[in-house]
Structure 1
Amino acid sequence: MFSRNFFIRIQGPFACFTRPEFSAERVTYDLITPSAARGILEAVLWKPAICWEIQRISLLRPIRYIRICRNEVSSRLSTAKALSAAVGDKAMPDFYADEDRTQRNTVALRDVAYGIAARFRMTRRAGPRDNIRKFEEMFERRLQKGQQCYQPYLGCREFPASVEPWDGGGVLESESRMLGWMLHDLVFGVDGKTEPVNQPRFFVAELRCGVLEVPAWEEVKPTIPETSHQ
């Protein structure tokens, strides 16, 4: 059971949808990934009873890149140690950023805007009082008022996103290119040994006249392309 289609405009000054084949440096995909778009919609409305599905991603602004070089720390304080220090069991360990600093490069996107066509389906966790119409009205009301469960972001938390209704216009129809292998989403579940697995699913993405058609979840096999191991 699927909801009606929703059309959402997502935009922001910066974005970085990191490609998994680059482990040391952050290099973005040319376009927002379906999983990133799903996360933004979940920031507006997430319930255990529904699951979002991205159908199309439209490019509303030209693809532009920006290179950022930043000093970052290689490690962070564990939550357990922080809680222990907070209750007075142990002293807060010393941390010197200058001794744990590393320089990393980021290839990000700038001045991005996307039009998303999406819908949601009911899950097995839906209760007896849950129904599609209820969540349709809830999402539409929250989208119109700008209400969010948490701040949506464009790949990285330091790149906030604004979310609003979209009328379907402004697509850059002159943009057509092959985008290569793109992350569709992750499979969350357990294998035969009851061990948790997070298995990525990739698909060959192609931007045609400014629009990326996202295949259905069932059409994407849980395989990892060879390029992701480089």
Structure 2
Amino acid sequence: MNSSIILEVSGDYALFSRPEMKVERVSYDVITPSAARGLLEAIYWKPQIRWLIDQITVINPIQFTNIRRNEISKKASAPKAALVNAGGSDSLGIYVDQDRQQRASLLLRDVRYLIHASIHIIDRRMDKGGEKLPANAAAGKHLAMFKRRASRGQAFHQPYFGCREFPASFQLHEDESSWPTPHQSLAGEKDLGFMLHDIEFEQNKKTKAVKSTTPHFFRAQMIDGNITVPPLPFKI
């Protein structure tokens, strides 16, 4: 059974931050595979599956714009939360008027992509404690649920392009004849440099807490608007 989907996503702005830019936010030229996976998980996610991004098709020309955004200079920390829970006198609150700072951001504008993705089955049971299904049957059921949700515009939370203030619209494509084609300015081959592929999380086996994170990168090559994403370099 074919366990792949084609999802069109679009929006006015997008920000896929490059990790090498320490202070000001600068976006990659196109959506990253990890951001594409996040969009799919916003529509349909189960602990029994993992979305694998196979290809990204860029439809609109790559355009950048500069804006200044209000951010906060700190975040609530786990040690402080533990101190407060233990009866400490510190506060967990963050006061925006005291910790606000403006940062310049280099964003993408008027973005539109086709996400080509497939389902990897981690657990063949549809629910915890349920009967194990053949891998093809489990993939087919998850795929059917995703398609039903996507065709109705349903999502667990609003999909977004990198930051929550940049919402994404989505549309499911089941017929190849309905696919939009890349803009003529995207013809030819372009080296996009090293791009974040995904992040590997290592869990503590006893507590299930995240013990460490390892980012993985790949050399992105765009040919006529299409970027082929290599397989994940780590075990799921």
Q: TM-score range by the shorter chain?
A: 0.7 to 0.9
Aligned-partner Cα distance in 1 for 2:95–2:214: 36
The residue that corresponds to 1:205 in the other structure is 220
**Displacement after TM superposition at 1:76 (Å):** 4.6
Matched, 1:180 2:193: yes
Q: TM-score, normalised by structure 2?
A: 0.79
**Displacement after TM superposition at 1:96 (Å):** 5.1
Q: 1:7 to 1:97 in 2, by over 3 A?
A: closer
Q: TM-score, normalised by structure 1?
A: 0.81
Amino acid aligned to 2:149: R
4+ runs deviating over 4 angstroms: 76-81, 89-96
User: Once superposed, what is the RMSD of the aligned Cα atoms?
Assistant: 3.0
Aligned-partner Cα distance in 2 for 1:14–1:183: 19
* CA deviation string 1:109-128 (max 9, x = no partner): 01100011111110047452
Report matched runs for 1:8-23 at 5 Å.
Answer: 8-23=7-22
Aligned-partner Cα distance in 2 for 1:190–1:114: 33
Report matched runs for 1:64-213 at 5 Å.
Answer: 64-76=63-75, 97-124=96-123, 126-127=125-126, 128-129=131-132, 131-166=138-173, 167-172=178-183, 174-175=185-186, 176-190=189-203, 196-213=211-228
Aligned-partner Cα distance in 1 for 2:94–2:147: 46
**Displacement after TM superposition at 1:197 (Å):** 1.5
In the alignment, structure 2 segments of 5+ residues that lack a partner are: none
Q: 1:76 to 1:215 in 2, by over 3 A?
A: closer
In the alignment, structure 1 segments of 5+ residues that lack a partner are: 222-230
* CA deviation string 1:90-112 (max 9, x = no partner): 89788654432322110010110
What is the aligned residue count?
213
